[in-house]
């Protein structure tokens, strides 16, 4: 039986939300103020019919929108969309009692996502390549993607050929494709074990298509050219499936915010340093200590720093900061610090930073909830939040990055 629903607000995952006596009802692809008819099942609307549209509804940019699960809010006008992203950070801070002004979100342009993970599956002679439908394992075969870089979109046909060649299992698997300065870096995961004949065919295909590198489950199958990106002025040969910010523009915006905040610092710590996104830029003007738990990423950073002699000294240490954070005593040598942890945040490390006298701290996060928790710890320890900037690098998705800048006045001796 259908019910008539009026959408109250946009939820954290991009669904329209209706408040009912039985609890919230989530309506996919509905916007605040809209009236819909739908059947309700376990708190979600199904078989939805739009009766009254919001003035903020616009034409989606992609023909696959509504079927493909990659984007959730392509139909929302840009100003309202960016306000929604900003509000996610605002609400997270309010929930933790952190008082700070949140700036307008920095927008992300279409066709800039340089790292995309496709789902692929071979069904006989047919190959499916695309993204999963929302809340489903069904693969939506895509012919376009307004989020991804033109270089990745132009290679969709070649990537289907590769998926057909590398599939050694009937099960779905993933192809993570990164556009680098030297070509596409492709990392397959779960495609199955390659036989010798199949391996040779895959190598020939990858070379013929001009892919920079192909790896499978961490093993490099073929590397025609070493995939390379620039972190500031420093060229970095990234490892297979290594972490990289999703868009170059977002990376540069975050690096600029961090760099300006730490300008003038003489000895800087970069915690959860990855392959050097911040460390190699900061080393232009300061000595840098970089801590990272991933040995391969850390080796990449170390090699890049050693090969670029104009940098200030960079010390790289393999360290699991979740289980062995830098202690307050160790932090005493630094006058600036940046941390960019995974989604889980950096709670234990922040407890040590909060007790320290590091005068300037930059926090970078892809999770407003854990960022707010970590900032609350730092504020309780005497830090003052001077700036928070949301950055939209995951276009039309529920995700938002943020950079928070903090200062602490030194204690009087």
Determine if residue 374 is labeled as part of a ligand binding site.
no
The DSSP line for 280-303 is: HHHTTTSEEEEEES-HHHHHHHHH
Assigned token pair, 21: 């006596």
347-355 and 368-380 helices cross at what angle (nearest 10)? Answer: 20
pLDDT digits (tens, 9 = 90+) for 312-335: 999 999 999 999 999 999 999 999
Beta strand 336-339 pairing with 44-52: unpaired
Look at residues 231, 260, 257 and name the one whose alpha carbon lies nearest to residue 401: 257
- Give the model's pLDDT for residue 125: 82
Residue 275: strand, helix, or coil? coil
pLDDT digits (tens, 9 = 90+) for 112-123: 999 999 999 999
Give the Cα-Cα-Cα angle 243, 371, 319 (nearest 5 degrees).
50
- Give the model's pLDDT for residue 36: 94
Residue linked to tokens 């979600």: 44
Look at residues 130, 114, 116 and name the one whose alpha carbon lies nearest to residue 69: 130
Determine if residue 87 is labeled as part of a ligand binding site.
no
CA terminus-to-terminus distance, the chain: 73
- Give the model's pLDDT for residue 413: 53
- Give the model's pLDDT for residue 135: 80
Number of H helices, E strands in the chain: 10, 22
Determine if residue 340 is labeled as part of a ligand binding site.
yes
Distance of CA 360 to the CA centre of its chain: 25
Burial of 279 (0-12, 13-18, 19+ CB in 10 A): buried
**Is the Cβ–Cβ distance between 288 and 279 less than 8 Å?**
yes
Computed over every residue of the chain, the mean pLDDT equals: 95
- Please state whether the predicted TM-score (pTM) of the whole model is above 0.85: yes
Determine if residue 161 is labeled as part of a ligand binding site.
no
- Cα–Cα distance between 244 and 260 in angstroms, integer? 21
- Give the model's pLDDT for residue 176: 97
Give the catalytic positions in this structure.
366
pLDDT digits (tens, 9 = 90+) for 365-395: 999 999 999 999 999 999 999 999 999 999 9
pLDDT digits (tens, 9 = 90+) for 25-77: 999 999 999 999 998 888 889 889 999 999 999 999 999 999 998 899 999 99
Burial of 80 (0-12, 13-18, 19+ CB in 10 A): middle
Distance of CA 309 to the CA centre of its chain: 30
Instruction: Please report the domains of the chain, with CATH numbers, ordered by start residue.
Output: 2-57 (2.40.50.140), 83-109+244-407 (3.40.50.150), 115-228 (2.40.50.1070)
């Amino acid at each position: 039986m259908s019910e008539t629903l009026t959408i109250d607000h946009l939820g954290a995952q991009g669904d329209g939300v209706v408040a009912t006596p039985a609890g919230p009802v989530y309506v996919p692809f509905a916007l605040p103020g809209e009236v819909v008819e739908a059947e309700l099942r376990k708190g979600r609307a199904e078989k939805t019919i739009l009766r009254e549209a919001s003035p903020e509804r616009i034409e989606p940019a992609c023909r696959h929108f509504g079927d493909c699960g990659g984007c959730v809010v392509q139909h929302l006008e840009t100003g309202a969309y960016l306000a929604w992203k900003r509000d996610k950070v605002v609400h997270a801070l309010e929930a933790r009692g952190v008082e700070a002004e949140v700036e307008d979100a920095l927008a992300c342009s279409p066709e800039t996502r340089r790292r995309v993970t496709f789902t692929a599956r071979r069904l006989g002679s047919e190959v499916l390549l695309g993204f999963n439908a929302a809340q489903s394992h069904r693969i939506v075969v895509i012919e376009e993607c307004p989020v991804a870089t033109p270089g990745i979109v132009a290679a969709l046909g070649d990537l289907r050929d590769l998926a057909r060649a590398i599939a050694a299992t009937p099960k779905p698997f993933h192809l993570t494709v990164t556009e680098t300065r030297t070509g596409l870096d492709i990392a397959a995961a779960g495609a199955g074990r390659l036989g010798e004949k199949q391996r040779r065919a895959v190598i020939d295909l990858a070379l013929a298509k001009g892919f920079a590198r192909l790896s499978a489950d961490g093993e490099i199958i073929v590397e025609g050219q070493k995939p390379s990106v620039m972190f500031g002025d420093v060229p970095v040969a990234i490892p297979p499936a290594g972490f990289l910010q999703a868009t170059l523009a977002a990376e540069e915006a975050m690096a600029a915010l961090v760099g300006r905040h730490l300008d003038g610092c003489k000895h800087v710590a970069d915690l959860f340093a990855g392959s050097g996104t911040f460390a190699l830029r900061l080393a232009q003007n300061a000595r840098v200590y970089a801590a990272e738990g991933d040995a391969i990423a850390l080796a990449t950073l170390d090699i890049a720093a050693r090969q670029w002699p104009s940098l200030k000294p960079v010390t790289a240490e393999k360290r699991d900061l979740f289980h062995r954070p830098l202690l307050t005593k160790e932090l005493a040598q630094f006058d600036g610090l940046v941390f960019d942890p995974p989604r889980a945040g950096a709670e234990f490390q922040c407890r040590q930073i909060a007790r320290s006298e590091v005068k300037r701290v930059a926090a970078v996060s892809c999770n407003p909830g854990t960022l707010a928790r970590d900032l609350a710890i730092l504020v309780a320890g005497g830090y003052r939040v001077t700036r928070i900037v949301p950055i939209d690098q995951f276009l039309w998705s529920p995700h938002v990055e943020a950079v928070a800048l903090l200062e602490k006045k030194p204690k009087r001796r």
